[in-house]
Amino acid sequence: MPKILILQPYLTPYRVGLFDALAAVDRVDVLVVRYSRPEVRRQWNVHTGSGFEQKRIRSLVVSAGYESNKVYTNVFHWLWILLRWRPDVVVACPANEGVIAAALKKLLRYRLIFWTEQTPFTAGSAALLKRQRFFYRHSDRYLVPGRLSAQYVRERCGAREEQIYYAPNSVDDDTYHIDQSRFDRKHGESPLKFMFCGSLIERKGFDLLKEAFRRLARECDLPAFECHVAGTGPLEKEPIDNIIYHGNCAQIECARIMRDCHVFVLPSRRDCNPLTVIEAAKCGNAMLLSDAVGNYPEFTLSDEWVFESGSVDALEKALRWVLTRSGSDIKAAAEYARRVAGEISHEATAREFVRAAGK
Protein backbone atom coordinates (compact mmCIF):
# COMPACT_ATOMS: atom_id res chain seq x y z
CA MET A 1 0.00 0.00 0.00
CA PRO A 2 1.67 3.29 -1.11
CA LYS A 3 1.85 5.79 1.73
CA ILE A 4 1.40 9.36 0.46
CA LEU A 5 2.18 12.21 2.86
CA ILE A 6 0.79 15.56 1.70
CA LEU A 7 2.27 18.65 3.34
CA GLN A 8 -0.14 21.62 3.49
CA PRO A 9 -0.13 24.93 5.35
CA TYR A 10 -3.70 24.14 6.47
CA LEU A 11 -6.65 22.06 5.37
CA THR A 12 -8.71 24.13 2.94
CA PRO A 13 -12.41 23.24 2.53
CA TYR A 14 -12.05 22.47 -1.16
CA ARG A 15 -9.19 20.02 -0.58
CA VAL A 16 -11.24 17.78 1.72
CA GLY A 17 -13.14 16.15 -1.15
CA LEU A 18 -9.90 15.56 -3.07
CA PHE A 19 -8.10 13.99 -0.13
CA ASP A 20 -11.12 11.82 0.66
CA ALA A 21 -11.18 10.68 -2.98
CA LEU A 22 -7.45 9.98 -2.85
CA ALA A 23 -7.80 7.97 0.36
CA ALA A 24 -10.63 5.98 -1.26
CA VAL A 25 -8.32 4.72 -4.02
CA ASP A 26 -7.56 1.05 -3.47
CA ARG A 27 -4.26 0.35 -1.69
CA VAL A 28 -3.43 4.03 -1.04
CA ASP A 29 -2.79 5.39 2.47
CA VAL A 30 -2.94 9.19 2.91
CA LEU A 31 -1.61 11.44 5.66
CA VAL A 32 -2.16 15.22 5.48
CA VAL A 33 0.33 17.16 7.60
CA ARG A 34 -0.48 20.81 8.39
CA TYR A 35 2.16 23.33 9.44
CA SER A 36 0.34 26.69 9.62
CA ARG A 37 -3.20 28.08 9.94
CA PRO A 38 -5.54 30.07 7.66
CA GLU A 39 -4.60 33.71 7.05
CA VAL A 40 -6.88 36.53 8.21
CA ARG A 41 -8.59 36.77 4.81
CA ARG A 42 -9.65 33.09 4.93
CA GLN A 43 -13.02 33.24 6.67
CA TRP A 44 -13.33 29.49 7.11
CA ASN A 45 -14.52 27.19 9.82
CA VAL A 46 -12.40 24.20 10.84
CA HIS A 47 -12.68 21.40 8.28
CA THR A 48 -11.85 17.75 8.68
CA GLY A 49 -11.90 14.82 6.30
CA SER A 50 -13.40 11.43 6.93
CA GLY A 51 -11.18 9.18 4.84
CA PHE A 52 -7.64 10.31 5.59
CA GLU A 53 -5.39 10.78 8.59
CA GLN A 54 -4.26 14.25 9.70
CA LYS A 55 -1.44 15.60 11.84
CA ARG A 56 -0.25 19.10 12.65
CA ILE A 57 3.37 20.12 13.15
CA ARG A 58 3.54 21.92 16.49
CA SER A 59 5.09 25.10 15.12
CA LEU A 60 4.64 28.71 16.21
CA VAL A 61 2.40 30.59 13.75
CA VAL A 62 2.15 34.40 13.83
CA SER A 63 -0.09 36.53 11.62
CA ALA A 64 2.00 38.67 9.26
CA GLY A 65 -0.83 40.58 7.59
CA TYR A 66 -4.14 40.09 5.84
CA GLU A 67 -2.77 37.51 3.39
CA SER A 68 0.18 35.87 5.15
CA ASN A 69 1.48 34.16 8.27
CA LYS A 70 4.98 33.70 9.67
CA VAL A 71 5.75 30.10 10.64
CA TYR A 72 8.56 29.18 13.05
CA THR A 73 8.98 25.50 12.26
CA ASN A 74 9.19 22.90 15.00
CA VAL A 75 11.85 20.89 13.17
CA PHE A 76 11.98 18.08 15.72
CA HIS A 77 8.26 17.40 15.61
CA TRP A 78 8.31 17.38 11.79
CA LEU A 79 11.20 14.89 11.85
CA TRP A 80 9.29 12.74 14.34
CA ILE A 81 6.26 12.61 12.01
CA LEU A 82 8.41 11.58 9.04
CA LEU A 83 10.24 8.92 11.02
CA ARG A 84 7.08 7.48 12.57
CA TRP A 85 4.97 7.38 9.39
CA ARG A 86 7.71 6.44 6.88
CA PRO A 87 6.00 7.66 3.68
CA ASP A 88 6.72 6.29 0.21
CA VAL A 89 5.91 9.69 -1.33
CA VAL A 90 6.00 13.22 0.09
CA VAL A 91 3.98 15.89 -1.74
CA ALA A 92 5.18 19.36 -0.74
CA CYS A 93 6.23 22.87 -1.75
CA PRO A 94 9.52 24.68 -0.98
CA ALA A 95 8.43 26.13 2.35
CA ASN A 96 10.85 25.41 5.21
CA GLU A 97 9.04 22.15 5.95
CA GLY A 98 9.33 21.09 2.30
CA VAL A 99 13.05 21.89 2.20
CA ILE A 100 13.57 19.71 5.28
CA ALA A 101 11.66 16.91 3.54
CA ALA A 102 13.92 17.33 0.49
CA ALA A 103 17.03 17.06 2.67
CA LEU A 104 15.80 13.80 4.19
CA LYS A 105 14.62 12.24 0.93
CA LYS A 106 17.56 9.89 0.36
CA LEU A 107 17.90 8.94 4.01
CA LEU A 108 14.22 8.00 4.41
CA ARG A 109 13.90 6.69 0.84
CA TYR A 110 10.78 8.43 -0.42
CA ARG A 111 9.98 10.24 -3.65
CA LEU A 112 9.43 14.00 -3.54
CA ILE A 113 6.66 15.61 -5.58
CA PHE A 114 6.43 19.39 -5.94
CA TRP A 115 2.73 20.38 -5.93
CA THR A 116 2.34 23.98 -7.04
CA GLU A 117 -0.17 26.45 -8.45
CA GLN A 118 2.47 29.11 -9.10
CA THR A 119 2.65 30.75 -12.53
CA PRO A 120 5.16 33.09 -14.19
CA PHE A 121 3.01 36.00 -12.89
CA THR A 122 3.19 34.83 -9.27
CA ALA A 123 6.83 33.71 -9.20
CA GLY A 124 8.91 35.11 -6.36
CA SER A 125 12.13 37.08 -6.51
CA ALA A 126 15.51 35.87 -7.75
CA ALA A 127 16.70 35.72 -4.12
CA LEU A 128 13.79 33.44 -3.25
CA LEU A 129 14.60 31.23 -6.24
CA LYS A 130 18.16 30.82 -4.99
CA ARG A 131 16.91 29.60 -1.61
CA GLN A 132 14.44 27.21 -3.23
CA ARG A 133 16.80 25.61 -5.75
CA PHE A 134 17.76 22.89 -3.28
CA PHE A 135 14.12 21.76 -3.14
CA TYR A 136 13.76 21.88 -6.93
CA ARG A 137 16.88 19.76 -7.44
CA HIS A 138 15.44 17.02 -5.26
CA SER A 139 11.93 17.03 -6.78
CA ASP A 140 11.20 13.85 -8.74
CA ARG A 141 7.88 14.92 -10.23
CA TYR A 142 5.60 17.93 -10.45
CA LEU A 143 1.84 18.25 -9.91
CA VAL A 144 0.31 21.32 -11.54
CA PRO A 145 -3.29 22.46 -12.15
CA GLY A 146 -2.81 23.81 -15.67
CA ARG A 147 -0.70 25.13 -18.51
CA LEU A 148 0.70 28.28 -16.88
CA SER A 149 1.85 26.32 -13.84
CA ALA A 150 3.46 23.77 -16.16
CA GLN A 151 5.29 26.65 -17.85
CA TYR A 152 6.42 27.83 -14.40
CA VAL A 153 7.97 24.48 -13.37
CA ARG A 154 9.66 24.09 -16.76
CA GLU A 155 11.21 27.58 -16.67
CA ARG A 156 11.76 27.99 -12.93
CA CYS A 157 12.54 24.44 -11.81
CA GLY A 158 13.95 22.84 -14.96
CA ALA A 159 11.19 20.23 -15.05
CA ARG A 160 11.07 17.90 -18.03
CA GLU A 161 7.74 17.24 -19.72
CA GLU A 162 7.65 13.61 -18.60
CA GLN A 163 7.95 14.76 -14.96
CA ILE A 164 4.84 16.98 -15.12
CA TYR A 165 1.39 15.69 -14.13
CA TYR A 166 -1.78 17.74 -14.52
CA ALA A 167 -4.05 17.70 -11.46
CA PRO A 168 -6.64 20.52 -11.71
CA ASN A 169 -8.11 22.02 -8.58
CA SER A 170 -11.44 20.33 -7.96
CA VAL A 171 -14.71 21.33 -6.31
CA ASP A 172 -17.81 19.68 -4.91
CA ASP A 173 -20.09 18.97 -7.88
CA ASP A 174 -23.09 18.64 -5.57
CA THR A 175 -22.75 22.32 -4.67
CA TYR A 176 -21.47 23.90 -7.89
CA HIS A 177 -23.55 22.81 -10.86
CA ILE A 178 -26.37 23.91 -13.12
CA ASP A 179 -28.74 21.72 -15.09
CA GLN A 180 -29.20 22.25 -18.82
CA SER A 181 -32.70 23.72 -18.62
CA ARG A 182 -31.63 26.30 -16.02
CA PHE A 183 -28.52 27.08 -18.07
CA ASP A 184 -30.57 27.66 -21.23
CA ARG A 185 -33.15 29.72 -19.37
CA LYS A 186 -30.74 32.07 -17.63
CA HIS A 187 -28.87 32.82 -20.84
CA GLY A 188 -32.12 34.17 -22.23
CA GLU A 189 -32.70 36.47 -19.27
CA SER A 190 -31.78 40.12 -18.75
CA PRO A 191 -30.20 42.26 -17.47
CA LEU A 192 -26.73 40.89 -18.10
CA LYS A 193 -25.25 39.91 -14.73
CA PHE A 194 -21.52 39.97 -14.04
CA MET A 195 -20.06 38.41 -10.90
CA PHE A 196 -16.88 38.95 -8.88
CA CYS A 197 -16.10 36.51 -6.07
CA GLY A 198 -13.04 36.80 -3.85
CA SER A 199 -11.24 38.98 -1.34
CA LEU A 200 -11.77 42.71 -1.80
CA ILE A 201 -8.07 43.46 -2.19
CA GLU A 202 -5.79 45.05 -4.78
CA ARG A 203 -4.17 41.73 -5.72
CA LYS A 204 -7.58 40.53 -6.88
CA GLY A 205 -8.05 43.78 -8.79
CA PHE A 206 -11.14 44.84 -6.88
CA ASP A 207 -10.07 48.49 -7.03
CA LEU A 208 -9.92 48.20 -10.83
CA LEU A 209 -13.32 46.55 -10.93
CA LYS A 210 -14.95 49.37 -8.96
CA GLU A 211 -13.44 52.06 -11.18
CA ALA A 212 -14.36 50.27 -14.41
CA PHE A 213 -17.99 49.85 -13.36
CA ARG A 214 -18.08 53.43 -12.06
CA ARG A 215 -17.15 54.59 -15.58
CA LEU A 216 -19.71 52.33 -17.25
CA ALA A 217 -22.45 53.46 -14.86
CA ARG A 218 -22.11 57.04 -16.17
CA GLU A 219 -23.18 56.00 -19.67
CA CYS A 220 -26.79 55.71 -20.72
CA ASP A 221 -26.37 54.06 -24.14
CA LEU A 222 -25.21 50.66 -22.81
CA PRO A 223 -27.48 47.65 -22.28
CA ALA A 224 -28.73 47.10 -18.73
CA PHE A 225 -26.30 45.22 -16.48
CA GLU A 226 -25.50 44.36 -12.87
CA CYS A 227 -22.32 43.30 -11.08
CA HIS A 228 -22.74 40.99 -8.09
CA VAL A 229 -19.84 41.01 -5.60
CA ALA A 230 -19.36 38.20 -3.09
CA GLY A 231 -16.51 38.62 -0.62
CA THR A 232 -15.00 40.79 2.08
CA GLY A 233 -11.73 42.62 2.51
CA PRO A 234 -9.99 45.87 3.40
CA LEU A 235 -10.98 47.77 0.25
CA GLU A 236 -14.05 49.92 0.68
CA LYS A 237 -17.40 48.67 -0.63
CA GLU A 238 -18.38 51.96 -2.27
CA PRO A 239 -21.97 52.50 -3.39
CA ILE A 240 -21.72 52.40 -7.19
CA ASP A 241 -24.66 52.10 -9.55
CA ASN A 242 -25.25 48.51 -10.71
CA ILE A 243 -22.87 46.95 -8.13
CA ILE A 244 -24.65 44.69 -5.64
CA TYR A 245 -22.66 43.60 -2.59
CA HIS A 246 -23.42 40.25 -0.97
CA GLY A 247 -20.62 40.16 1.62
CA ASN A 248 -19.09 36.90 2.78
CA CYS A 249 -21.26 34.08 1.42
CA ALA A 250 -21.55 30.45 2.46
CA GLN A 251 -20.87 27.94 -0.33
CA ILE A 252 -24.54 27.25 -1.07
CA GLU A 253 -25.42 30.95 -1.27
CA CYS A 254 -22.36 31.71 -3.42
CA ALA A 255 -23.29 28.90 -5.82
CA ARG A 256 -26.85 30.24 -6.03
CA ILE A 257 -25.59 33.69 -7.04
CA MET A 258 -23.23 32.12 -9.59
CA ARG A 259 -26.12 30.18 -11.14
CA ASP A 260 -28.04 33.45 -11.53
CA CYS A 261 -25.18 35.31 -13.26
CA HIS A 262 -23.91 35.20 -16.85
CA VAL A 263 -20.27 36.36 -16.79
CA PHE A 264 -17.62 35.82 -14.12
CA VAL A 265 -15.06 38.63 -14.11
CA LEU A 266 -11.72 38.43 -12.30
CA PRO A 267 -9.25 41.34 -12.84
CA SER A 268 -6.45 39.96 -10.64
CA ARG A 269 -2.98 41.48 -10.78
CA ARG A 270 -1.62 38.03 -9.89
CA ASP A 271 -3.57 34.90 -9.06
CA CYS A 272 -2.26 31.34 -9.04
CA ASN A 273 -5.21 29.13 -10.01
CA PRO A 274 -8.36 30.52 -8.40
CA LEU A 275 -10.98 27.97 -7.51
CA THR A 276 -13.74 30.51 -8.06
CA VAL A 277 -13.12 30.27 -11.81
CA ILE A 278 -13.94 26.55 -11.74
CA GLU A 279 -16.93 27.08 -9.45
CA ALA A 280 -18.39 29.81 -11.64
CA ALA A 281 -17.75 27.79 -14.80
CA LYS A 282 -19.59 24.79 -13.36
CA CYS A 283 -22.48 27.16 -12.60
CA GLY A 284 -22.70 28.23 -16.24
CA ASN A 285 -20.79 31.51 -16.46
CA ALA A 286 -18.65 32.83 -19.29
CA MET A 287 -15.13 33.73 -18.14
CA LEU A 288 -13.75 37.27 -18.46
CA LEU A 289 -10.27 37.05 -16.92
CA SER A 290 -7.08 39.06 -16.70
CA ASP A 291 -3.93 37.54 -18.17
CA ALA A 292 -2.57 37.18 -14.61
CA VAL A 293 -5.26 34.65 -13.64
CA GLY A 294 -3.50 31.28 -13.65
CA ASN A 295 -6.27 29.25 -15.27
CA TYR A 296 -7.30 31.72 -17.97
CA PRO A 297 -5.84 29.58 -20.82
CA GLU A 298 -8.13 26.68 -19.92
CA PHE A 299 -11.39 28.55 -19.32
CA THR A 300 -11.60 31.46 -21.78
CA LEU A 301 -13.17 30.81 -25.17
CA SER A 302 -10.89 33.19 -27.11
CA ASP A 303 -8.40 36.03 -26.67
CA GLU A 304 -11.24 38.56 -26.58
CA TRP A 305 -12.24 37.19 -23.19
CA VAL A 306 -8.78 37.96 -21.73
CA PHE A 307 -7.53 41.46 -20.82
CA GLU A 308 -4.31 43.01 -19.58
CA SER A 309 -3.84 42.79 -15.82
CA GLY A 310 -3.37 45.95 -13.78
CA SER A 311 -5.12 48.20 -16.30
CA VAL A 312 -8.51 49.72 -15.55
CA ASP A 313 -8.71 50.88 -19.18
CA ALA A 314 -8.22 47.31 -20.43
CA LEU A 315 -10.85 46.04 -17.99
CA GLU A 316 -13.33 48.73 -18.99
CA LYS A 317 -12.77 47.94 -22.67
CA ALA A 318 -13.31 44.21 -22.02
CA LEU A 319 -16.52 44.84 -20.06
CA ARG A 320 -17.79 47.16 -22.78
CA TRP A 321 -16.98 44.49 -25.39
CA VAL A 322 -18.99 41.89 -23.48
CA LEU A 323 -21.93 44.28 -23.17
CA THR A 324 -22.06 44.55 -26.97
CA ARG A 325 -22.06 40.76 -27.50
CA SER A 326 -25.20 38.88 -28.38
CA GLY A 327 -26.76 36.53 -25.87
CA SER A 328 -25.74 33.58 -28.03
CA ASP A 329 -22.08 34.73 -28.00
CA ILE A 330 -22.05 34.91 -24.20
CA LYS A 331 -23.84 31.58 -23.93
CA ALA A 332 -21.24 29.96 -26.21
CA ALA A 333 -18.40 31.23 -23.99
CA ALA A 334 -20.25 29.98 -20.91
CA GLU A 335 -20.86 26.57 -22.49
CA TYR A 336 -17.16 26.29 -23.32
CA ALA A 337 -16.11 27.05 -19.72
CA ARG A 338 -18.80 24.73 -18.38
CA ARG A 339 -17.61 21.88 -20.59
CA VAL A 340 -13.99 22.32 -19.42
CA ALA A 341 -15.08 22.43 -15.77
CA GLY A 342 -17.28 19.38 -16.30
CA GLU A 343 -14.18 17.27 -16.91
CA ILE A 344 -12.78 18.20 -13.48
CA SER A 345 -13.67 16.14 -10.42
CA HIS A 346 -12.14 15.08 -7.13
CA GLU A 347 -11.87 11.53 -8.45
CA ALA A 348 -10.09 12.51 -11.68
CA THR A 349 -7.57 14.68 -9.82
CA ALA A 350 -7.00 11.91 -7.26
CA ARG A 351 -6.18 9.49 -10.09
CA GLU A 352 -3.53 11.91 -11.36
CA PHE A 353 -2.04 12.08 -7.86
CA VAL A 354 -1.75 8.31 -7.79
CA ARG A 355 -0.23 8.29 -11.27
CA ALA A 356 2.40 10.86 -10.23
CA ALA A 357 3.14 8.90 -7.06
CA GLY A 358 3.68 5.65 -8.97
CA LYS A 359 7.02 4.09 -9.83
For the chain, the structural domain boundaries read: 3-170+344-357, 180-342
What pLDDT digit, counting tens, does each position of 205-253 carry?
A: 999 999 999 999 988 788 999 999 999 999 988 999 999 999 999 999 9
121 pLDDT band, cuts 50/70/90, is: confident
Regarding beta strands 141-144 and 53-56, do their DSSP bridges make them parallel or antiparallel, or are they unpaired?
unpaired
51 pLDDT band, cuts 50/70/90, is: confident
What pLDDT digit, counting tens, does each position of 256-311 carry?
A: 999 999 999 999 999 999 999 999 999 999 999 999 999 999 999 999 999 999 99
Cβ–Cβ < 8 Å for 212, 312: yes
Give the chain's count of helices (H) and strands (E): 14, 15
42 pLDDT band, cuts 50/70/90, is: low
Give the separation between CA 189 and CA 181, rounded to whole angstroms: 13
CATH number of 180-342: 3.40.50.2000
Residue 47, pLDDT score = 53
**Span 107-111, mean pLDDT?**
97
Residues 6+ apart with CB under 8 A from 180: none
Cβ–Cβ < 8 Å for 186, 259: yes
Residue 127, pLDDT score = 65
Residue 236, pLDDT score = 87
Give the separation between CA 72 and CA 59, rounded to whole angstroms: 6
Q: Which class is domain 3-170+344-357? A: alpha beta
Question: DSSP letter string over 42-62?
Answer: --------SSSEEEE---EEE
- End-to-end CA distance of the chain: give it in Å, rounded: 13
Q: What angle do CA 226, 276, 247 make, to 5 degrees?
A: 55
Query: Mean pLDDT for the chain?
Result: 92
